[in-house]
Structure formats: C-alpha cells, structure tokens
Amino acid sequence: MATNEGPNERIDPADDLRRGETWGLRWRTGFDRWMGLLLPLLFAVAILPIADLVYFISAKAVPTLSWHVVTSYSDYQAHDTLGVPLMTTFLFMALATSIAVVLGLFGGIAAAEFLPERAAGWVRMSANLLAGMPSVIVGYFGYFAFVLYFGWGLSFIAGVFTLAFFMTPYVYRTADLAFSSIPRPIREAAYGSGAKPVQYILRVGAPIAFPQILTGVFLAMAIGVGETAPIILTTQPGLLVPSTVFQPAVFMTYLIWTGFSQPAGSVALTLAYQAAFFIIVVVLALNIVVRVVAGRFRKRLQGLYQ
Amino acid sequence: MSPNPVRDVSADREPLPAPSSPTTAGPKRLRFRQPVWWLFAYIPAVVPAAIVIAIAATLLEASHLHNFGAAFFGLTFNSSTNQFGMLVFIVGSLLTAIPALLLSMGIGLGIAIASTTYLPRYLARILDPFVDLLAGIPSVVYGIWAFVVVAPIFGLVLNPWAVEHLSFVPGFAGNSLSPTTAGYGLPISIFVLTLMALPITTLLIRDALQSIPKDLWESGLALGATRWEVVRRVSLRQGSRGIWSAAFLGFGRAMGETVAVAMVIGSTAKLPTNVYDVTYTMASFMFETLDAAYGNSLYLSALAELALVLLAITFAVNLVGRRLVAHIYAEQVAGL
C-alpha cells in the first residue's frame, strides 16, 4: 500500500530481485516455456491414431484389391468381390442425397428468406438437435416408422429414407447459413430493383450461396456414407443389387460390422478391410473438397464485402 | 380511353411497411400476396422440426411406456423372464462417457491453447486440420481399427501393467473373471470415445479462445504476465462459455456413439466389477439387440423407452451446449 511506505523508501524495480524474487520470476517464465514445448506434443494424440488408422486399413486392403474385385457383380460373400456392395452403396447414397438435398435445400432457403425470425430460431434449434442426435435413435425411428408402421419391411427404401432423414439437417443448416450470410446490401439492391423472391433466390442468391451449399451437401454425404446404425437397423443385407425398392440391399458399412470379429484371412474380414478402405477414401476426398471449396468461398465472400 | 399499355406495377405491390427505427433493423422478411406461396415457403422450412417431432412421437407410440417406472430403472435384465431393467446400460453409458469427456476436454484444452498461443501460425494452420479430420472418420472404421490394433495393446500391455502397479487403487485390482487379456471393455471404449469426442471439444475451445479480443491479450502481456498466465487468467475466463459448450456437446457425442463402442465394449449386460470389465452402453445395447426383440412387444417397448431416455439426455445436453454458443452458428460448427 502506498500509504504505508515511508517517504524515504527507495522505489526501484530491481528491489524485487534483490529481495529474492528471482525464483518466482524464473519459475513463471520457465513454466511458460515448458508449456510451450509440451502442449504442442498433444497434437500427437490426434495425429498418431489417424495416421495409424489410415495406414493400417490401407496396408490390409490395398494388396487384396484388383479390377476384378471391384467390378464383379456376383455373390459378394462367396467370391470376395465388392461390385455389389459398391453399386448398392452408390444407389443408397444417390437416392438418400437427393431426398436430403430436396428437403434441406428448400427448407434452408425458406428458413433464411421467408420464415419469421422467431420461428426460424426454433427451427434452427431443432436442426441442431437433429444433427446432434445419436445415429441409433434415427435408426430406431426408421425401424418403427418405415419398417413396421409403413409396412415396408427391412428393405432398401426404408434404409434410404432413414439415411436421408439423417443427412437432411446438414444440408439444411448450410443452405440456411449460406442464404442468411448474403450481405444485406445485395439483398436490398435486388429487392429494391424489383426482383421477386424467386428471381432473387435463383439469379442473385444461388450463385453466391452455391459453393457453401455444395460443401454442406458433400459434408452430408461424407457423414452418410460412413453411417452404420440407421442402415443396418432398417435394411436387410442382400447378396445382389436390388431390382425393386422393397428388396434387401447391402451397405458398405454392413461388411465392416459383420466382418470385424472374423478370424484373420477369412473372406468376411478381407471384405471388411476393403469396405473400410473405400469408405475412408471417399470420406477423406469429400472432406478435402469441402476444405478447398470452403477456402475459395471465404475469399470470394471477402471480395463481396469490400 | 385505351388502356395504358404499360402495366401498372404499383397495384401488384404491397404498400411499403412503416419505416422502422434503424436500431431494430433485422433481416427483412418477405410477404406474399397469394396464400399459396406460404405452402412453398413455410412447409419446407419446418422440416427439421417436423422430423424431430416425428422421431419423438414414433418412439413414444412404439413404447407406450409399458415398461416404465421401477421396472425400467431396475438392475435385472433378463429377456426370458421379461425383466427389462435398463439401469445397467445407463450406468455403462455414464461410466464410459464421463471419463472420455474429461480426457478429451483436457487434451482438447491443451491442443487449443497450443494452437492459439504457442505454435507459430503456419504450423497451427498445418496441424489443425488433422484434428478436424478425426471427426470425418466413420465410427465403424474406428471400431475395426480399435478391435484389431488397439485392443491387443490394452489387453497385453496396458491392462496387465495397471493390474500390477495400480492395484492399490480401488477398482484397479483385476480378478480372474474379467477378460483383461482380450482387451475389450471399459478402457478401450473410453479410448475410442475420447478420440471421437476430441474434434468437437478441440474445435469449440479453439473457437472460444480465438474469439477473445486482441486487446485483452496484449494488455495482459503488457502488465508483465507470461503467455501462460494470460491464457489461464484471461483467455480461459473470457472463453468459459465456449469451453462449457464444448463439454456439453462432447458429452452428447460420447453418450450417443453407437457402433465403435459396440465393437469394443464387450457386450455383456452386467455392471462392471473393476475398471477393465466388459459392460454395455445404452446406444450399443440398443443397436445390437433390436433383432432379438422382434416379436416380443414388451422387449420392443422397453428398447423404445431406452431410446427415449437417450433422446432426452442428448436433447438436453445439446440444447444447453448450443445455447452457450448461439452466437457462433458458423459453418465450422455446422460440420459437427
């Protein structure tokens, strides 16, 4: 306290050091330096597992792959071929993504442009809740709603709709976000010069929001292609590509789920590694595309603001 | 008098709204003259809310709450005598999710502080995407990797070491009944869940630390504090909302994780007797036993009730977590 100090007391910063405060100072700076060295090492906790995982799956799967394995559409369990699962997964993803894009895109744009602010807040919150919902619950919903009540049975179409509902919130949120973040002057300029809502959305909003919406769709696909519970609970695995929507169909992740505990060298385990390899490749590719597109989008938006 | 060839557009328009004060100017909402447009605009917009309500209603309808109350929160699970006590699975979920959350919060804090404070920016920009990439790896791929690669490490190295050296801690003394050598059980489940919750916690904490004003940081340094002291006393306090939201959302993720845990938890419906034991979590149990329940209406209703409980937990946790970071409705968070 300043009042307790006598008038003759010297005020010298070096007093601290003379009184033996060097220890405290050294400890403080030393601790800071040690933290600077040790904390970055924690990155290893994240990077080592992902590196080992990708290496392990690739090392197991790549030597067993051949052109024949990927293109043969015979019974996949008997011949250790991936043609049927790849094709069926593609059909699953194509249909589910289409449904999710239709629902999510229309919904997101409508929420950003038309819905009253309060209602939009509620719907956004429910989209967040849906995105945070455990996949097994969506699977249960698909089982009780589509398989049992709608009477579709454990079929391709039940899996498609369950997967689509799982993917919808991701598309919805990016579409909503993309249209909400279009700078106000642009909206006002469009409406001020007499554009109708549809004209604004198609001619002004869509070109600006397109890259971001695309990242949302890719993200939803990356999440959907690796999902297991929603599909397995609602679809029976079939040995062939389904010819009608009510037939059983096999999804890639099912191969991993059935094969992971099989003995080494068995067909099921080989199929599991191959399926895991293809899923990782697709997911990583989609993630990289999302990053690149998102980076370019950010630059573009910065250009818009200036 | 001939009609004017130029259409009078003013009749098509709504009258201009009264000018609002500039302080309350929000995004302007469109209005429609013809009610049919409402269908195109409002019905698609409420799709997520409709799906959420449909999911809750379907599960409620499927369960009819036939098995709720004391029977539901019982410890005895025996499908042949129609006793569906689900407490085992709730306890199993908590026993895996809470340690995994604590671990991933600690590691996430460390990574976020390192990336925002200590690392040079170019290095942080290279390393950060790897953590985000953890979120992209599908759960089932984590599962097969953990089952084949990590489980032997736990079973042959880590668990025996802990039995030998940590047996004075309650719960760490192994017994012959628990399958410590296979490696399945609580420790590896916690490991997998930690990895899977890590990207969420790290991302949200990093976001919280990055959004702190530069002035605070600089004034802290100017007062003579070290970087660590500024982080501890300024950044972590300023960013506490984001850090709490990371905890809530990470917990929701850990509770809901299904397939990866189902592959390594050991899948045995009993309370664990020591820390290496096998057990079950709510999500993995629901996932694995739906087939077995087919045809037994009480069993199905018990499972639907368990789904409702899990739904309620994740809803509550997500609601709180999202509310805390309501201002960051950003594309990064949209990815999780």
Asked whether residue B200 is domain-assigned, the answer is yes
Asked whether residue A186 is domain-assigned, the answer is yes
Helix (H) or strand (E) holding B78: strand B77-78
Q: Which residues of B touch A137 (CB under 8 A)?
A: 55, 59, 256, 307, 310-311, 314
CA distance B276 to B171: 9
Pick from A43-52, B96-105, B269-278: least confident: B269-278
Asked whether residue B37 is domain-assigned, the answer is no
Confirm if B45 and A111 have CB atoms less than 8 A apart: yes
Nearest CA in chain B to A255: B140
Which residue range is the domain that position B187 belongs to? 88-335
Indicate whether this model's pTM tops 0.80.
Answer: yes
A132 in reach of chain B (CB within 8 A)? yes
Asked whether residue B127 is domain-assigned, the answer is yes
Asked whether residue B11 is domain-assigned, the answer is no
Confirm if A248 and A237 have CB atoms less than 8 A apart: yes
Confirm if A43 and B114 have CB atoms less than 8 A apart: yes
Distance from CA of A218 to the nearest CA of B (A): 10
Asked whether residue B185 is domain-assigned, the answer is yes
Q: What is the pLDDT of residue A1?
A: 44
Distance from CA of A272 to the nearest CA of B (A): 8
CA distance A261 to A269: 7
pLDDT in tens, A179-232: 988 888 888 899 899 888 888 999 999 888 888 888 889 989 999 999 999 999
Domains of chain B: total: 1
Nearest CA in chain A to B249: A132
- The one-letter code for the residue type at B66 is H
Across the interface, whether the CB atoms of A197 and B42 are under 8 A apart is answered: no
CATH of the domain at B192: 1.10.3720.10
Asked whether residue A55 is domain-assigned, the answer is no
Question: What b-and-e string marks burial along B181-202, b requiring 16 or more CB atoms within 10 Å of the CB?
Answer: ebbbbbbbbbbbbbbbbbbbbb
Helices B121-136 and A267-305 pack at an angle, to 10 degrees, of 130
Residue owning tokens 């006393």: B233
A194 in reach of chain B (CB within 8 A)? yes
CATH of the domain at A85: 1.10.3720.10
Q: How confident is the model at residue B83 (pLDDT cuts 50, 70, 90)?
A: confident
Nearest CA in chain B to A168: B48
Q: How confident is the model at residue B23 (pLDDT cuts 50, 70, 90)?
A: very low
Asked whether residue B39 is domain-assigned, the answer is no
Q: How many CB atoms lie within 10 A of CB A168?
A: 27
Distance from CA of A229 to the nearest CA of B (A): 7
DSSP state of B32: -
Asked whether residue A14 is domain-assigned, the answer is no
Confirm if B324 and B241 have CB atoms less than 8 A apart: yes
Cα B154 to Cα B136, B142, B149, B193, distances in angstroms: 25, 16, 10, 15
Q: What is the pLDDT of residue B86?
A: 87
**Phi and psi, residue B266, nearest 5°:** 100, -20
Question: Which among A56, A106, A123 is the nearest to B49, CB-wise?
Answer: A123
ipTM value? 0.86
Instruction: Give yes or no for residue A3 having a pLDDT over 90.
Output: no
Which residue range is the domain that position A270 belongs to? 62-301
Across the interface, whether the CB atoms of A144 and B59 are under 8 A apart is answered: yes
**Which long-range contacts (C-beta less than 8 Å, at least 24 apart) are formed by A17-22?**
none
Asked whether residue B301 is domain-assigned, the answer is yes
Q: Which residues of A touch B58 (CB under 8 A)?
A: 141, 144-145, 149
Asked whether residue A176 is domain-assigned, the answer is yes
Domains of chain A: total: 1
Asked whether residue A225 is domain-assigned, the answer is yes
Residue owning tokens 């999510």: A104
What DSSP letter does each residue of A100-113 carry, written as one string?
A: HHHHHHHHHHHHHH
CA distance A133 to B57: 15
Give the pair of three-digit tokens for residue B40.
């195109």
pLDDT in tens, B271-280: 888 888 888 9
